[in-house]
Every structure is written in C-alpha cells, then in structure tokens.
Amino acid sequence: MAGEAAVDLSLILPVHDEVESLPLLWPELEQVLWEIDGVTEIIFVDDASADGSTELIRDLLTRDKRVRLIRLGRRGGLTAAFLAGFAAARGAVVATMDTDLQNDPRELPRLLAALDHHDAAVGWRRTRRDPWLKRVSSRIGNGIRDAVTGDRVHDSASSLRVMRRECLAAIPPYQGMHRFVPTLLRIAGYRVAEVPVAHRPRRFGRSKYGVRNRARRAFADLLAVRWMMQRRLRYEVVEDTGGDDP
C-alpha cells in the first residue's frame, strides 16, 4: 500500500459511555501499539455516548495523530459500531476490541502472530470474569449456536479479534452479526484460529448488553446465520480460456 492509505493495522474500538474506562485503557493501548511494527490507526467509534466519552476521544485526537473518531448520530449497538469502523478502516489488517477494560490489549500481538497461518484470529475467553448469570447464559448460547450451525466455536461473541482486510466482505450489514463473526468467516472459506486470551472483570458500571435484552434477538440472528450456511452458493471453475483484450 502506498501514500496516505499505507496503513498496516486498523484497531476499531466501539465506545458507549465509557468515560471512566478510557483514561485507563489509553496508556495500555499506547504501550502495546508502539511495540507493533508498521503503521497503525486507532478508530474510536462513538455509539452516541452522553457521558463525556466523546470529549475524551477528541482530546486524544489532538495528542496522537493515529487516533480517528467516528461518531454515530444515534445509538446503533455493537454491530453498527463495528460496521462503521470497518467502512472507515484503511489497514491491511483490522482488529477489534471492547473499551470497558475487560479485553487486555497485551493479547493483540498474540492474535496478530496467528495470522501467519490463518486469515483471522479470535480471542477465546477461556476463563470469563463476568457475573455468574452472564457466564451461564453465554455457555447456553454457545451450546445452542453449535447445535444449530454445526460449527464449534468456543467464544463466538468475543470482540477481541484480528482479521485480514479481505475478511470484512464476509460480514453482512445486518444487526446482530457481530456475535457470529468466526462462523461467518468460515462460511466464506477463511481460516479462523481461536486463541485463548485473558479476560478481566468489568471495573465500572455494568454491561449495556444484558441477558434479557438480547436472548430472543440472538436466536433470531442465529437462524439467519443457519439460513446463510444452507443457502451458500458453491461452484468450481474447471476451465477458463480467458479472452483477448478489447
């Protein structure tokens, strides 16, 4: 890649009312990203925050030229935030992670190393540091997803992941698809690694995405993914004679 678009890594960070977490997350990110080779851009996608998070990010813009801000006019949710970040990203590799301090930025180099042999790597939160109800609901949800799709993924909804830019085309622009990224990539034929990563307790506030407000919608989204798996068009070209230039 050449010129202004020569970006090696785009890190997308969805934000919704994380004014307490961002000042602690930023020093961790700085330390890790300076150790990663290549040109990096850091894209904060502000999902209509109302607690001062926007102003904090704008301050970072004045201090670090790698920082970009994408601000949504109204609350769109995680899928919308990720897709807005994907559309803006210029990197050959795209990474995502949460901004509530539960994802450890020090895991990013390990995920990036997995791209030596895979097209994408997702963080597997083997030991979850969530309240018991969220852990149980996640375990049940993973079991249902595995049964419906037949694609065994330990931690499908983990936001800590990296992927080659071409993988983005496999993620359809529909609500809820952020929960099924590993399966969607595999449907498209990409090689996906699961890498065990550290998971930390939430330090401030509470999750914006609880059990009751997502179970029914998540199941409907799961059926949509199952439909895509069954209806995916597959064919093999055995000969192409090409043609003369016009």
Tens digit of each residue's pLDDT (9 = 90 or more) over 186-199: 888 999 999 999 98
Confidence band, pLDDT 50/70/90 cuts, at residue 14:
very high
Predicted local distance difference test score (pLDDT) of residue 170:
92
Count Cβ atoms below 10 Å from residue 227 Cβ, excluding itself.
10
The answer as to whether 245 is a domain residue is: no
Confidence band, pLDDT 50/70/90 cuts, at residue 129:
low
The answer as to whether 161 is a domain residue is: yes
The answer as to whether 242 is a domain residue is: no
Q: From CA 42, how far away is CA 9, in angstroms rounded?
A: 8
Q: How far is CA 69 from CA 97, 101, 104, 230, in A?
A: 15, 19, 21, 38
Q: Is the confidence at residue 221, as pLDDT, over 70?
A: no
> How many distinct structural domains can be found in the chain?
1
Q: Is the confidence at residue 207, as pLDDT, over 80?
A: no
The answer as to whether 240 is a domain residue is: no
Domain of residue 67, residue span: 3-231
Structural contact between residues 61 and 162, judged by C-beta atoms closer than 8 angstroms = no
pLDDT tens figures, 25-57: 999 999 999 899 999 999 999 999 999 999 999
The answer as to whether 155 is a domain residue is: yes
The answer as to whether 68 is a domain residue is: yes
Q: Is the confidence at residue 95, as pLDDT, over 70?
A: yes
Count Cβ atoms below 10 Å from residue 204 Cβ, excluding itself.
12
Residue 96: beta bridge partners? Answer: 12, 161
Confidence band, pLDDT 50/70/90 cuts, at residue 175:
confident
* Share of the chain residues as helix, strand and coil, in percent rounded to the nearest 5: 40, 15, 40
Count Cβ atoms below 10 Å from residue 157 Cβ, excluding itself.
20
The whole-chain average pLDDT of the chain stands at 84
Q: Is the confidence at residue 17, as pLDDT, over 70?
A: yes
The answer as to whether 33 is a domain residue is: yes
The answer as to whether 243 is a domain residue is: no
If you count DSSP H runs as helices and E runs as strands, how many of each does the chain have, helices first?
A: 7, 7
Residue 231 CA to chain centroid, in angstroms? Answer: 25
| Dihedral class, residue 205 (left if φ above 0, else alpha if ψ from -120 to 50, else beta) | left
Q: How far is CA 159 from CA 68, 90, 95, 197, 244, in A?
A: 19, 19, 9, 12, 47
Q: Report the CATH number at residue 206.
A: 3.90.550.10
The DSSP bridge pattern shows strands 40-46 and 67-71 to be parallel
HSE-up of 127 (CA within 13 Å, CB side)? Answer: 3
Structural contact between residues 40 and 124, judged by C-beta atoms closer than 8 angstroms = no
pLDDT tens figures, 104-123: 999 999 999 999 999 999 99
Residues in the chain, overall count: 246
How much of the chain exceeds pLDDT 70, in percent?
74
Predicted local distance difference test score (pLDDT) of residue 81:
95
Low-confidence winner among 12-16, 89-93, 99-103, 213-217 (lowest mean pLDDT):
213-217
Confidence band, pLDDT 50/70/90 cuts, at residue 173:
confident
